Structure 1
Amino acid sequence: MCGIVGLFLKKEALRPQLGNMLTDMLITMTDRGPDSAGIAIYGDEAEGLKMTVQSDTPQTEFDGLDGALEAALGRKVTMKVVDTHAVLTIPDDAEDDARAFMKARGLRVMGVGSAMEIFKEIGLPKDVAARFGIRQMSGSHGIGHTRMATESAVTTMGAHPFSTGDDQCLVHNGSLSNHNQMRRVLTQKGFAPQTQNDTEVAACYISSRLAEGANLGEALEGTLDDLDGFFTFVVGTKNGFGVVRDPIACKPAVMAETEDYVAFGSEYRALANLPGIEAARVWEPEPATVYFWER
């Protein structure tokens, strides 16, 4: 079933409230999928790239991790530990070497980008959000997901959001029927999914289209032609936020827009406590229609 939320702030003054608003929205969706949860936050840009990694034994694995990576790269590295995740800031051109380093140490890369940080774990949204201090996080936009696993195991790597490109991530409610076929196509293009979750296939598809030069709207339009099944996708990029539903649109979805923000929720109750919601334009996204906003 799953519950998804998204919030794109139009006004800079609201940035300090992003984490708090997203947390409330996601907790409201708990009964749509209580086995795992995650949130992507687009915050202040780093001087370099922010690589978010996860470990099941953070006290051991994160001890001295920044120094070891700095020595391996021969370049300056900084680190912020947040529960089972660590956000390392690395040079712009060091991503491939840093990924290889993390793989060798058995650490999982959640996402990379100059603005994006991803935090996800097994557990209820309220517990996951509390562990990572999401309420205290600020930023321009973010997306979140609470999962009911139907097609793959309940694991950290199976939780949403999925990030398969720099500053790009995706959450999904639904199921894809041609994901195995698309895995082969995307692998040949250099965008091989790393898990069995069909949502990661959709994320890889968006990344491949963006890499080919499409904008976010064009990439979302492509899902309507190339991905079969029933789905609602909410996508975040460094400067954008987009939503698309399949032509049948059997999964619930509602959007709201004011002068201050654009919000998405699987149900209206996820939006009900947003400031100014009583004056918002509220609508159900049309089937096979792309909605996106970019800065």
Structure 2
Amino acid sequence: MCGIVGLYLKDPELRGKLGAFFGPMLAEMTDRGPDSAGFAVYRDGASSDAGETGGGETGAAKASLYDPDERFDWAALAQAMGDDLGTRIAWDRVASHAVLRGAVRAKAMRDWLTANRPEVRVMSTGTSLEIYKEIGLPADVMARFGVPQMTGTHMIGHTRMATESAVTTEGAHPFNTGEDLCLVHNGSLSNHESLKRMLRREGLVFQTENDSEVAAGYLAWRLSQGASLTEALEAGLKDFDGFYTFTVGTREGFAVIRDPIACKPAVMAETDRWVAMASEFRALARLPGVEDARVWEPKPATIYSWGTA
């Protein structure tokens, strides 16, 4: 049992309060997943104001990274990456994570890290996506990363109750494999090992044993073959064996889909200022204007999306 939430702000006037709205949503899912939590935030420019900084300019791409040693020398890593890629790499330390930014392609950053620093966990790469996650109660995790102060367009998050693998930071959600693409999952896939073998033959690299990372990798692979997100999710309905509710984040927005049986709970709400989803309605109850929102349960095997193709 896990909890998932997502919030997409249509009204630009609300985007300065994204974290303040999102935090209570994720905290409400604590009893569905008390062992770890994580979230993805989509925003341009620098990372959170919390933490140590190694430079503040905005680059064309960024990578959010994790190392369990909070004294990890991110400055040295950024210097080495910049020397090899021929550009200056700025960095921000946020607790056990860091965000590196530079005028390079996101794929170049991921490829360099895979080849040169495989012990460092790549939480995400892209131009607007940052992922942060840790072991602990959701409220404690969010406090470490300064969620209430975060701004942006949309966030998705997950609280985990580990059933198929160990309680680790790496095993927490969200998972990112493709550029600016991430996924949170409530449920279980029974054929993820066979899918993983297929995706590895296609060149994908996995960092955990979590079935949800395989689902994220599958979607990224489909997109790399020219599919739209809608087409990738439709293909997954045939290729995934198991039960799931997925919330998928992209640079432009987010999408929600349940398996054809829809045995995992989900509820959605929408106003003219925002759209949100959660495993239970109580996570949505404090959003502004929720009393006037259209509220519904997403249908099985049906894609709901905002700002995505």
Which of the five TM-score ranges fits, normalised by the shorter chain? over 0.9
CA shift for structure 1 position 101: 4.0
Q: TM-score, normalised by structure 2?
A: 0.91
Could you tell me whether the CA contact under 8 Å between 2:11 and 2:274 is conserved in 1? Answer: yes
Q: TM-score, normalised by structure 1?
A: 0.95
Counterparts in 2 of 1:90-129, with a 5 A limit? 90-93=102-105, 95-96=107-108, 99-101=111-113, 104-105=116-117, 106-129=119-142
Is 1:259 the counterpart of 2:293 in the alignment? no
Q: Which residue of structure 2 lines up, in the alignment, with residue 87 of structure 1? A: 99
Give 3-state SS (helix, strand or coil) of 1:129's partner. helix
Structure 1: gaps (5+ residues): none
CA deviations 1:24-63 (Å, max 9, x no partner) are 1000000001111001000115531111111111313325
Write the distance in 2 (CA, Å) between the matches of 1:180 and 1:133: 36
Q: Which residue of structure 1 lines up, in the alignment, with residue 54 of structure 2? A: none
Give 3-state SS (helix, strand or coil) of 1:20's partner. helix
Write the distance in 1 (CA, Å) between the matches of 2:105 and 2:10: 31
Give 3-state SS (helix, strand or coil) of 2:98's partner. strand
Q: Which residue of structure 2 lines up, in the alignment, with residue 144 of structure 1? A: 157
CA shift for structure 1 position 82: 0.6
Is 1:58 the counterpart of 2:70 in the alignment? yes
Give 3-state SS (helix, strand or coil) of 1:60's partner. coil
CA shift for structure 1 position 294: 1.2
Write the distance in 1 (CA, Å) between the matches of 2:197 and 2:205: 8
CA shift for structure 1 position 271: 0.2
Q: CA RMSD in A?
A: 1.6
Question: Closer, same or farther in 2 for the Cα pair 1:151/1:82, shift >3 Å?
Answer: same
Could you tell me whether the CA contact under 8 Å between 1:73 and 1:98 is conserved in 2? Answer: no
Q: How high is the sequence identity, in percent, across the aligned residues?
A: 56
Give 3-state SS (helix, strand or coil) of 2:72's partner. helix
Counterparts in 2 of 1:32-51, with a 5 A limit? 32-45=32-45, 46-51=58-63
Could you tell me whether the CA contact under 8 Å between 1:216 and 1:240 is conserved in 2? Answer: no
Write the distance in 1 (CA, Å) between the matches of 2:190 and 2:110: 34
Write the distance in 2 (CA, Å) between the matches of 1:40 and 1:173: 16
Question: Closer, same or farther in 2 for the Cα pair 1:190/1:103, shift >3 Å?
Answer: closer
Could you tell me whether the CA contact under 8 Å between 1:55 and 1:84 is conserved in 2? Answer: yes
Question: Closer, same or farther in 2 for the Cα pair 1:189/1:98, shift >3 Å?
Answer: closer
CA deviations 1:250-288 (Å, max 9, x no partner) are 111000010011100000000000000000000000011
Structure 1 residue aligned with 2:144, among 114, 131, 136?
Answer: 131
Structure 2: gaps (5+ residues): 46-57
Could you tell me whether the CA contact under 8 Å between 1:55 and 1:61 is conserved in 2? Answer: no
Question: Closer, same or farther in 2 for the Cα pair 1:263/1:91, shift >3 Å?
Answer: same
How many matched pairs? 295
Aligned-partner residue type, residue 32 of structure 1: R
Structure 1 residue aligned with 2:288, among 272, 275, 290?
Answer: 275
Structure 1 residue aligned with 2:222, among 193, 196, 209?
Answer: 209
Question: Closer, same or farther in 2 for the Cα pair 1:217/1:52, shift >3 Å?
Answer: same
